[in-house]
């Protein structure tokens, strides 16, 4: 969370945004109990409708069976050739008609109950959908309001010629960007807003330029020789601020992006410039994942690093040892010229 105690105007703006976020969150929370009750009622209506639908299916099956019995008896009565067979068919037809009437009544009753249950279910579903839409809208509004109180991250890719904006570790927008001399590498630079200046009207930034590492930057122990001092302490690489600023000056952001982003540039916001595209590891709930220019691109787990070859001279044998991959044991190596 940005600390703006030294800039009352910016602090007031941030507090105003936080108040809006708090109000929206309260509205979302207020919608939760009603939604829970409607969800409970909806489940009850779904269970009742399932019960009536099952009863209707049984009644329909019974009615179909009774109607079939009536049709069968009528057919048999029509085909009767003796008085005894005719009387027997007529007696059975009376029973079949009574069963069919009873089945029809049961079917009508089951259909009425199922229709009523269906209407109640539809009403409960509509009420739940309305309340759920209100809750979702309130939740999204609260989320959006809170996101405005968080620092923004801006990533400019020379490769894709686009600018990407994330806030609160979520994507906000992306847009085409104009980069001068697009055929010339721009490097990897990370600008971070650290504080306000000019009564809060401007921002003070720091910048780090990340250079690609070379195979000869490593010694036999795996440490970077160019960053080692005589005392053995690691020294971070120096950033050429002029070159970093020149890279930033090559970029022209769309006015709508500047207008939307500038009002939420709190301390902690960042601008990342890179020759490469955004890494595939950038996803939900992450900030930008950017791979150093010149490094193997793609998934981090699928990027085997190129291991440099190591040779060490042994004065005792007047010969060389080949180390290859640092993880392997040294192997004796005799150069071609030693055979002459």
pLDDT score for 291? 78
pLDDT score for 278? 85
Catalogue the long-range contacts made by 255-260 (C-beta closer than 8 Å, 24 or more residues apart): 256/175, 257/163, 257/165, 257/173, 257/175, 260/165, 260/172, 260/173
pLDDT score for 307? 53
- Can you identify the CATH homologous superfamily of domain 8-147? Helix Hairpins (1.10.287.620)
Specify the residue for token string 């004796």.
Answer: 332
Strand, coil or helix: 192: strand
Topology of 152-294 in CATH? L,D-transpeptidase catalytic domain-like (2.40.440)
Burial of 33: CB neighbours in 10 Å, binned 0-12, 13-18, 19+: exposed
In order along its 340 residues, the chain shows pLDDT tens digits of 666 777 777 778 888 888 888 888 888 888 778 888 888 999 999 999 999 999 999 999 999 999 998 888 888 888 878 888 888 888 888 888 999 899 999 999 999 999 999 999 999 999 888 888 888 888 888 888 888 888 899 999 999 999 999 988 888 889 999 999 988 989 889 999 988 877 767 888 999 988 766 544 544 444 445 455 555 556 666 788 888 999 999 999 999 999 888 888 888 899 999 998 888 888 787 888 887 776 665 555 555 555 555 445 455 555 544 444 444 444 444 444 444 4
Domain ranges of the chain: 8-147, 152-294
Specify the residue for token string 């690691």.
Answer: 234
Which residue intervals of 174-297 are DSSP H helices? 241-249, 255-262
* Distance in angstroms (rounded) separating the CA atoms of residues 286 and 284: 6
Sequence-separated (6 or more) residues with CB below 8 Å from residue 160: 277, 278
Domains 8-147 and 152-294 are alike in CATH topology: no
Cβ atoms of residues 104 and 112 within 8 Å? no
Cβ atoms of residues 187 and 198 within 8 Å? no
């Amino acid at each position: 969370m940005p600390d703006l105690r030294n800039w009352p105007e910016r602090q007031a703006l941030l507090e105003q945004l936080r108040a809006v976020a708090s109000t929206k969150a309260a509205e979302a929370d207020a919608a939760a109990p009603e939604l829970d009750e409607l969800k409970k009622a909806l489940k009850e209506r779904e269970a009742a409708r399932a019960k009536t639908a099952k009863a209707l299916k049984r009644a329909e099956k019974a009615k179909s069976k009774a109607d079939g019995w009536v049709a069968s008896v009528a057919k048999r009565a029509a085909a009767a050739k003796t008085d005894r067979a005719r009387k027997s068919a007529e007696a059975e037809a009376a029973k079949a008609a009574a069963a069919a009437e009873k089945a029809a009544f049961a079917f009508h009753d089951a259909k009425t109950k199922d229709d009523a249950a269906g209407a109640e279910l539809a009403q409960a579903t509509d009420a739940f959908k309305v309340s759920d839409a209100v809750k979702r809208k309130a939740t999204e509004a609260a989320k959006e309001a809170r996101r405005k109180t968080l620092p923004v991250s801006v990533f400019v890719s020379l490769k894709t010629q686009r600018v990407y904006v994330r806030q609160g570790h979520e994507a906000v927008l992306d847009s085409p960007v104009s980069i001068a001399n697009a055929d010339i590498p721009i490097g990897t630079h990370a600008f971070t807003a650290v504080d306000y200046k000019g009564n809060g009207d401007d921002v003070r930034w720091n910048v780090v330029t990340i250079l690609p590492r070379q195979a000869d930057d490593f010694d036999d122990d795996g440490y970077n020789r160019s960053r080692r001092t005589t005392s053995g302490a690691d020294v971070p690489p120096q950033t050429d601020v002029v070159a970093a600023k020149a890279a930033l000056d090559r970029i022209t952001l769309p006015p709508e992006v500047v207008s939307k982003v500038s009002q939420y540039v709190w301390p902690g916001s960042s601008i990342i410039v890179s020759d490469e595209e955004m890494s595939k590891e950038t996803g939900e709930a992450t900030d930008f994942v950017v791979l150093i220019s010149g490094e193997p691109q793609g998934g981090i787990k699928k990027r085997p690093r190129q291991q440099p070859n190591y040779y060490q001279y042994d004065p005792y044998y007047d010969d060389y040892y080949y180390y290859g991959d640092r993880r392997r044991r040294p192997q004796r190596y005799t150069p071609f010229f030693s055979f002459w």
